[in-house]
Structures are given as structure tokens and as C-alpha cells.
A and B are shown apart, each in its own frame.
Chain A
Amino acid sequence: MEHKIRVLVAKPGLDGHDRGAKVVARALRDAGMEVVYTGLHQTAEMIVEAAIQEDVDVIGLSLLSGAHMTLFIDVADLLKKKNIDDVIVVGGGIIPEEDVPKLKKAGIAGVFGPGTPCDDIVDFIKKNVKR
């Protein structure tokens, strides 16, 4: 049987805007992926721990508060620290253009701003999963 891509959709930090996270979670599920949604107020430790427990291929982070440069990078750093290199991290939210290259350099494989069609996210994940 074909491996179903497993995705952890997570909301780091205090931000409560969960519309995007929920819409994307549903879209990924409708595209045939297995989706786990963490709910709100997750620390980097909680997110990485859940990713390990749930054995996911992808972590999808959503943040609209503007704290992405700290909180997204915390997750990427923690994965590196734990030598986890087969999980890709993607993120979305209110993210100024100029932050995108910095996030990518820090290990966020894909960054999706407002107006992104859900299919673009599905396609990106399918192309970039590592296992």
C-alpha cells in the first residue's frame, strides 16, 4: 500500500488565529494525507515531541502574530538539535517578503503567504517530502 503522507499542523506560541491552520488541515486531509492538528499554544518542544510521537513527514506551522522569525526558527533548530532530518517544515501566515529567504535559510522548506491556493501547499508537500 502506498505510504500516506503524515502531517502535523501546529500553532506555535500565543497566536489564536487558527482559521488558516484549520483550512489547510482540511485541505491536506481532503488531498489524502493523514493530518494531526495540535491545537493552540504549542511550544517548540511540544511540537517536535508531537512530530516524533505521530511519526510525521511534515510539520506545518501557522502564525499570524508576526513572531515567525523566532517561533518558526525555534522548531527548525530543535529538529536539527535532535538530528531529525527526514521531516520537512513548512509555514504560513502574515509574513513579509523580506523574511522569506531568512526563514528558508533557517530550515523552513516552504513559506506560504495570504492568497496561496491550498493546492499549491499540497503540491509542494508531495514534491518535497523526504520519505
Chain B
Amino acid sequence: MFEKKELEKIKRERARWEKTCYLRLKNKYPERKEKFENLSDVEIKNVYGPDDISNLDYLKDFGFPGVYPFLRGIHATKYRGRLWTYRQFSGFGSAEETNLRYKYLLDHGETGLSVAFDYPTLYGYDTDHPMSRGEFGKCGVAISSLKDMEILFDGIPIDKVTTSMTINGPASIVWGFYIAMAENRGIDRRIIGGTIQNDILKEYIAQKSFIFPPEPSMRLIVDTFEFGYKEIPRWNTISISGYHIREAGSTAIQELAFTLGDGLEYVRWAVKRGLNIDNFAPRLSFFFNSHNDFFEEIAKYRAARRIWARKMKELGAKKSRSLLMRFHTQTAGCTLTAQQPEINITRVTLQGLAAVLGGTQSLHTNSMDEALALPSEKAARIALRTQQIIAEESGVTDTVDPLGGSYYIEWLTDKMEEETYKYFDRVDKLGGVIPAIEKGFYQREIAKAAYKYQKEIDEKRRIIVGVNKYKMDEPIEIPILKMDEKGEQRQINRLKKLRKERNKQKLNRNLNRLKKAAEGDENLMPFILDCVHSYATLGETCQVFRNVFGEYEEPVIY
């Protein structure tokens, strides 16, 4: 990017500066640390200059926003045109309670919905299943049937607002509930918009709410890709997620590498099935974490866009839309402290800002009380206000990719890309993503990084304000969310009533047809929708798959 002669001059000047100006001061006043490293153990230099990014070519490696390789953003106008979506992940207790929370958030300026389901739902169990004991509504809302989904979205304009649903193992069934709910309200399936997470690979790697073994799980996912672009064209049929990989303890580079590796694996499976890459690729979306190291996070998002565009081109994508990495970001739950919870607002602000400077398409900012319990109404509102301040007060949205061209950011972005390719090679050598999962490669890498991080905190080599420095001994005074104690019984009664009233003949016929289809190789989505419309519960539909596909058992590694 710089003339050779000019670069030589810069390098000479840097050497002179190091020897004189810098060393003189450093010898007199030693630096705070021997070595400066970011959260991925990348050593950070004292200062960056043109000589650190001299290998990069502006038009080839940077380009302009909306132009390949999309380093600087996927849209030409970016936030000057449209702000990101304020999308707060929420759900608790019964469908009725969560419905009220959604209306509250929308009333306060939220622009997209995001459903958190409880554990039984995530595992495809109905509320009255024995494995659901103690879990009803605890870390999300319980949805056992189309009926619950109808209550959840009652009075919410789903023809205007998009909905993201964090659901993986039973994603196709829960998506079926949503589609059927819209249809029962007279809304055309072609106009509803949203996202299902539907990313099973990171479940095996990190988040662990898997149900079926990898092969049938991948088949279910490719079924949704195909059904999606044909029938529900505004839906993102997957949200390939690094968030949970990071929460499980990975570094930023691992988050980036494992997530993109998973993304490419889905593409390979879909292409192998015979799908045209340019049909389904525009509906692939991503989801990243925003952790504490401000610049590293920004570099991560920028690198992600460039790597994805380059790899998708290699895989044969022709349409520009197929090369775009669109992503949601959530601030890092694992960085929240139970101690002095109010200061989490500051952490979340920095993390949210990093996501925005990295060019996120939608954002969830965490509530200050989430290291203690699910967010109270007030805490959830402050979290929403935090991103509204970043968006509408701070001015960071006035130009596209404001940090583009920063020597440090560009050097770090390039470094993260390089390290990502190294991880791709390591996974290839293990035989690919699924064999690497089965060998425990990712799990070991993440457990190692998590333990190292904890040790650094315990030994005060990494400072967490309020936890290992600036501690206070005072009672935590944060109101904790109280749930409706009658919610669970109400839900169980509703299930009983539903099982009694539905047309059993039709139900059994549809469940049988689903079973036969699962044993064959047809696309399962139409069969799932028939079951859903005949009020099969989540548990019943999932049980068909459990019987045909079996269940996954993970290798235990720590």
C-alpha cells in the first residue's frame, strides 16, 4: 500500500525511534508488563505503523463497503442508511409472561425479537416430561406446542417485526410452530422474517444442547436450507454461532476459526446434497460474542467478513449476496460479574461498541443482573437503552468502518485471518469438523483456554474489576426477577387439554408419515408442518426422530 522507498524510510525511522526515544523512556520508567498480550495470546507491539501492514493491498484486501472482500462492511451505506436491529434475547416462564416482556421491549424501542427457550424445549421435551423436572421456564420460555407459540406472539405484528429463535436440536419443529402460527393468523409464509439458530455443530463443540447424532442432524439442517429458500424466502435458516464457543471458554481466534469452519461444513453438506450454493448461501447468517478485549473483537468481526467472502468464492459462490457475512452479536455473558452488578453496564457498553465498530447487523446487550438470575424488567430496559445510546447519541454511526485503516486494527485483522487458516488446516488433518468433534479436538482446545483464563484471574494476572481488584464487601442489592408460580401448572393443564381435544386419527396419521419420511430421504419440513398443524407436541414430534435417528452421546473431556 506504500511505495517501497517510502517504506524503507519508515522502517529506518522506526528503528531509530525504538533505539532512542522509546527505549530511553522505557528504561527510565518500565512498562506495566514485560509482555502485552491479548485474550488470544497474540503479542501486542508498542505501536503500529505502515510497515506492519505493508503486505496488504488496499483494493484486494480492504476494498470499499459493500464490495468484495467486504472487510469494511457488507453494505455501502451501513449505519448511515439503517441502524442495526436492537434485538434483546429474552424469554422466561410461560408463554403469557414472555409475551408481556416482548410487548414491553417493543414499546421501549426494540426493533427485533429474540426468543430464549427453556431447557426442556431446547431438548425437545414437553413440560410434563420427567426430564423437564425443575427446569420449566427457568432459562427461557417453555414452548411445547403450536398453542404455546400462538400465545407467545399474540398481538405482536410478526408481519413487520423479525424474530430470532435460539433453538438447535429441535429447530425444524419449533420453526414449524412459528410458520403454522403465522399461517393460522392469515399471514403469508413468504413474508415472515427471522432466524432459527439451527447450528448443531457448535452444540457438539460447546453449548451441548444436542439431541441426535451428527449425520441425521446435518440432514435436518440441509432440509431447512432447501425448504427455506423455496418456501420462506425471508428466513435465515441458520445462525452459525461462535457466541457459545466463546462462552465455553475459547479465545477470540478459536471462536472465529471454529465458527467459520462450521459454516463451511454446512455449505459442503448442502452442496453434496445437490443444492445450488447461490440459492441457500444468502440465507446463512452468523452470531458472534463481544468480549472484553475491545480492539481484538473489532478485528475479529472484520476478519470474519473477509475470510467468509474469500472461502465462499473458493467454494463456487457466484452471487455477491452469497459472499456476505451477516451477523448478530451478543455481549459476553461470561464477563458479567455477580459482584457490584451495576458496573456490568459499563462492560456491556464497551462490548456493544466493539460490535458496532465491527459492523454487526443486530445486537443484544446483556443486562447487568445476568450473573445472578434472568434479567428484571428494569435491567433489561437499561441494556436496551445502552445500545440506543451507542446508536443514536455517540456519532459512531456516521461513517462506515471508522477504524478501517488503523495500523493496529488492520494488522490484527490480518493476523486473526492468518491464525484462522491455521486452525482450518488442523481440523482438515483430523478429517474434518465432525471427526474433530468426535475426537474431542475442539472440546479440549476450549477447556484448555477456559482453564488458563480462570488461572490468570485467580493469580491476578488478568484483572476483573470488582472480582480480583477493587473489591467491595457489601450486600448485592439488585431486584431479582420473580416468575409466576402458577405458570408451570397452567402449561401442563394446557397440554392435557390439547392432547384430549385434537383429532387423534389425523395426528397419528401425520406422525406415522413423518416417521416413514425420516426413515427415507425426503425433505422433512412439509411432514413436520403437517404434524404441527395437527397439534402434535414438541415432545411427540421429537420422539419420532429420537426413535429413528437415536441420540448422541458425547465424549467426556475436561
**A: which residues have CB within 8 A of B?**
13-19, 21-23, 25-27, 37-41, 64-67, 69-71, 74, 94, 96-98, 113-115, 117-119
Contacts and interface: CB of A to CB of B under 8 A. Distances in A.
A103 to B, nearest CB: 13
A114 B458 contact: no
Interface of B: 119-120, 122-123, 125, 131-135, 138-139, 203, 207-209, 247-249, 334, 336-339, 370-374, 447, 450-451, 454-455, 457-458, 464, 466-468, 475-476, 480, 554, 556, 558
Contacts of A18: 208, 248
Nearest to A37: B558
B371 A27 contact: no
Nearest to B125: A14
A114 B135 contact: no
Given A15-B119, A16-B207, A16-B209, A39 B338 contact: no
Contact of B135 (A21, A65, A97): A65
B120 A19 contact: no
Q: Output the residue of B133, B203, B450 with the most chain A CB within 10 A.
A: B133
A97 B248 CA distance: 24
Contact of A65 (B138, B207, B476): B138
Contact of A27 (B125, B336, B454, B464): B454
Contacts of A94: 370-373
6 contacts: A14-B209, A16-B209, A22-B451, A23-B454, A67-B134, A115-B467
B554 A98 contact: no
Contacts of B458: 117-119
B248 A14 contact: no
Contacts of A23: 249, 447, 450-451, 454
A113 B338 CA distance: 8
A107 B72 CA distance: 56
Sorted nearest first, the 3 A-B pairs with minimum C-beta distance are A70-B134, A16-B208, A66-B138
B467 A13 contact: no
Contacts of B138: 65-67
Given A14-B123, A16-B208, 7 more contacts: A13-B135, A18-B248, A25-B558, A65-B138, A94-B370, A94-B371, A96-B372
Contacts of B337: 114-115
Contacts of A25: 558
B27 to A, nearest CB: 36
B189 to A, nearest CB: 31
Nearest to A68: B134
A66 B139 contact: yes
A19 B119 contact: no
A112 B474 CA distance: 17
B131 A40 contact: no
Nearest to B555: A39
Q: Is the interface of A mostly helix, strand, loop or mixed?
A: loop
A38 B134 CA distance: 20
A37 B247 CA distance: 20
A17 B558 CA distance: 13
A39 B119 contact: no
Q: Output the residue of B336, B451, B466 with the most chain A CB within 10 A.
A: B451
Nearest to A118: B458
Given A13-B134, A14-B135, A67-B138, A96 B373 contact: yes
Contacts of B135: 13-14, 65, 67, 70
B411 to A, nearest CB: 31
B467 to A, nearest CB: 4
B249 A19 contact: yes
Contacts of B457: 117
A15 B135 CA distance: 9
Contacts of A114: 336-338, 371
B451 A39 contact: no
A19 B480 CA distance: 24
A124 B40 CA distance: 32
Contacts of B374: 66
Contacts of B133: 13, 67, 70-71, 74
B558 A14 contact: no
B119 A115 contact: no
Given A27-B454, A65-B135, A67-B138, A13 B373 contact: no
A35 to B, nearest CB: 8
A26 B119 contact: no
A37 B62 CA distance: 47
A69 B373 CA distance: 13
A118 B454 contact: yes
Contacts of A71: 133-134
A94 B366 CA distance: 15
B377 to A, nearest CB: 16
Contact of A40 (B139, B208, B468): B208
A27 B131 CA distance: 30
B447 A97 contact: no
Nearest to A65: B139
Nearest to A69: B134
Contacts of B207: 16
Nearest to A64: B139
B119 A14 contact: yes
A94 B369 CA distance: 10
A13 B133 CA distance: 8
A26 B134 contact: no
